[in-house]
Amino acid sequence: MMPTDYDLVIIGGGPAGITAGIYAARAQLKTLLLEKAAPGGQILVSDWIENYPGFPEGISGADLMMKMADQVKRFGVSIDSGEVKSVDLSGQIKKLFLTDRTVTAKAIIIATGASPKKLGVPGEDEFYGKGVSTCATCDGPFFRDSVVAAVGGGDSAVQETLFLTRFAKKVYLIHRRDQLRAARILQERAFANDKIEIIWDSAVTQINGSEAGVQGVSVRNVKTGQISNLAVEGCFMWVGITPNTAFIKDAVQLDAGGFVVVNAKMESSAPGVYAAGDVRNTPLRQVATAVGDSAIAATEAAKYIETLEA
Ligand SMILES: Cc1cc2nc3c(=O)[nH]c(=O)nc-3n(C[C@H](O)[C@H](O)[C@H](O)COP(=O)(O)OP(=O)(O)OC[C@H]3O[C@@H](n4cnc5c(N)ncnc54)[C@H](O)[C@@H]3O)c2cc1C
């Protein structure tokens, strides 16, 4: 086999990518970890994590990721800044095309996670950053004593809504069903919180405002069709995620939602190409599952590379 720049390139510096880096370094693979933005991934925007073991009092997303990044650096893996734009996985040597360079590797791990989904309603793009947000930790403090809307019904939506009540005087939690999907413990906290009013069976149809920012949301009851307007100064949303797979969509098999299809060894349809964390087809997208996937992916990648060298 022709020489390559690296044994393994890990794409994405969230919990999955960083964990893969730790395992790869300990397997003594020549490893490159590429991250297009700040290392840490989605969990950076989470105020408080209570379900990742080892932190009995909980830990902020930023602190957890700082510790993970320190750990991978301790094993000599640096997190390089760079965005993979496209790939050529047709041969044994994997080619990754970045904005400014091309790198080659014997194996790769796709750990590019996902990005928050949009509602797709008028006003959303116009007021993004002017009251529309997907990050309560980043933007919640701007809404002290305000009335805000929060959209969604899963763990992230309820957890972040609870966080918003530290600042806002009232939060309308707008959910399109008649029950929440969040863990029972989060639901109970939301029901017990006087600042939260849940608007059931409803979907936001428009975000209204002026140059100054958001002034209200239009909400349609999905059962009756009735439209009402809520006066709010902010609209936060957690309505799911879109996998970051555009750059590999023609190179590996994706499922109908665009997530990378892998087997129990985290192998994708292309030999030597693994996927781990939120980017893959998985029933649960959490830090704990992302790090578990990556431990498997990096271990399997090391075995695959050994077969090439044999
Ligand atoms: C608001 C919120 C609250 C949450 N709360 C919890 C919680 O309490 N507990 C819990 O366990 N989980 C929680 N999660 C889920 C958790 O954040 C994810 O499951 C986890 O971050 C997935 O890790 P990952 O490494 O697979 O992907 P990500 O965290 O998405 O990281 C992927 C990284 O890849 C980078 N990237 C993408 N494309 C490219 C490219 N082409 N080239 C280079 N780099 C690229 C991205 O910039 C990103 O940094 C929460 C998520 C959100 C949004």
The predicted structure's pLDDT at residue 137: 82
- Compute the distance between CA of residue 294 and CA of residue 22 in angstroms, rounded to an integer: 9
The predicted structure's pLDDT at residue 48: 86
Chunked into runs of 10 residues, the chain (310 residues) has average pLDDT values of 92 98 97 95 88 95 96 93 96 95 97 95 94 90 96 95 97 98 97 98 97 96 97 96 96 97 98 98 94 98 92
Q: Which amino acid is at 218?
A: S
| Contact (CB, 8 A) for 239 and 151 | yes
Rounded to 5°, the CA angle 304-300-250 comes to 75
The predicted structure's pLDDT at residue 45: 83
At 70, list the tokens. 């320190």
Active site (annotated) includes residue 135: yes
SS3 (DSSP) at 151: strand
Ligand 1: residue of 19, 55, 287 to mutate (most ligand atoms within 8 A of CB) is 287
Ligand 1: residue of 80, 112, 238, 285 to mutate (most ligand atoms within 8 A of CB) is 112
The predicted structure's pLDDT at residue 78: 82
264-267: long-range contacts (C-beta < 8 A, 24 or more apart)? 264/296, 265/296, 265/297, 265/300, 266/109, 266/293, 266/294, 266/296, 266/297, 266/300, 267/300
Distance 3 CA to ligand 1 centre (A): 32
Nearest to 174 by CA among 162, 157, 193, 195: 157
Distance 114 CA to ligand 1 centre (A): 6
- What phi, psi does 18 have (nearest 5°)? -65, -40
Active site (annotated) includes residue 139: yes
- What phi, psi does 184 have (nearest 5°)? -55, -40
Model confidence, pTM: 0.90
Residue 51 CB–ligand 1 contact under 6 Å:
yes
Neighbours of 89 (CB within 10 A): 20
